[in-house]
Amino acid sequence: MIVAIDGPAAAGKGTLARRIALALGFAHLDTGALYRAVGLRVLRDGMDPSDATAAHRAALALNPADLSGPALREERTAKAASVVSAHPAVRAALLDFQRNFGKNPPGGVPGAVIEGRDIGTVVCPNADIKLFIDADLSIRARRRHEELRSNGISVELAEVRAEMAARDDRDRNRADSPLRPAPDAHLLDTTDLDIDGVFAAAMKAIGGVAK
């Protein structure tokens, strides 16, 4: 079974995906980490994330060691990830990895929860359940601002909001695999919901499919 979860930054899909995976005993993949790792590698190589050739080279050189570490959560990395993810060659390089994870979850578990921007539309269009998680931009910016502050990163809320708005625009308007809900996705707005409420709604949708 594959559960595909899509949505913009700080909508709550990461927390939800991990909780669903834990509850169902499924494997979990944050595809955003793949793109953040590519973006970070480009930055560390002293290259520009908008350079499609450099980004593609970084994607091809990606290894498991690149998928962990505090630098992946830095705002500059998130910005670079959004830029490199717009390159078709980068998306193609990472597509097989994502699809194989869904078809063959590690550890022999019975399913996978995969989160990202185009899981239900491109990566796993035949996923058993598709969820699209969204929330008001101001709420998402506040959540990200609080997360950054809790990690000791000093940044103005207005700056976080502006960067998030720019990232939304890139993700939703890129030519290749834009951020949008699949026609058969369950839409969950987390603006006025806490994680327990979102989790309950998601599990209800999953239970309906499972029956």
Residue 76 DSSP symbol? H
- Quick one: which of 99, 119, 111, 120 has its CA closest to 184? 120
Burial class (CB in 10 A: 0-12, 13-18, 19+), 194: exposed
The Cα–Cα gap between 98 and 9 comes to 19
- Distance between CA 205 and CA 209 in Å, rounded? 7
pLDDT of residue 211: 40
pLDDT tens digits, one per residue of 190-211: 999 999 999 999 999 998 665 4
Q: What tokens does 82 get?
A: 């959004």
Predicted pLDDT of residue 175: 85
Where are the alpha helices (H) located in 61-194, listed in sequence order? 75-84, 88-103, 137-150, 157-173
Q: Which of 30, 42, 22 is nearest to 119 (CA)?
A: 30
Give the pLDDT of residue 174.
86
Query: What's the token pair of residue 20?
Result: 């669903």
Entry pTM: 0.86
Q: Which two tokens stand for residue 87?
A: 């390159």
Q: Which conformational region is residue 68 in: left (phi greater than 0), alpha (psi within -120 to 50 degrees), or beta?
A: beta
Residue-level pLDDT, tens digit, the chain, 211 residues: 999 999 998 999 999 999 999 999 999 999 989 999 999 999 999 999 999 999 999 999 988 788 888 899 888 998 899 899 889 999 999 998 899 999 999 889 999 999 999 999 999 999 999 999 999 999 999 999 998 899 888 899 999 999 999 989 988 998 888 999 999 999 999 999 999 999 999 999 998 665 4
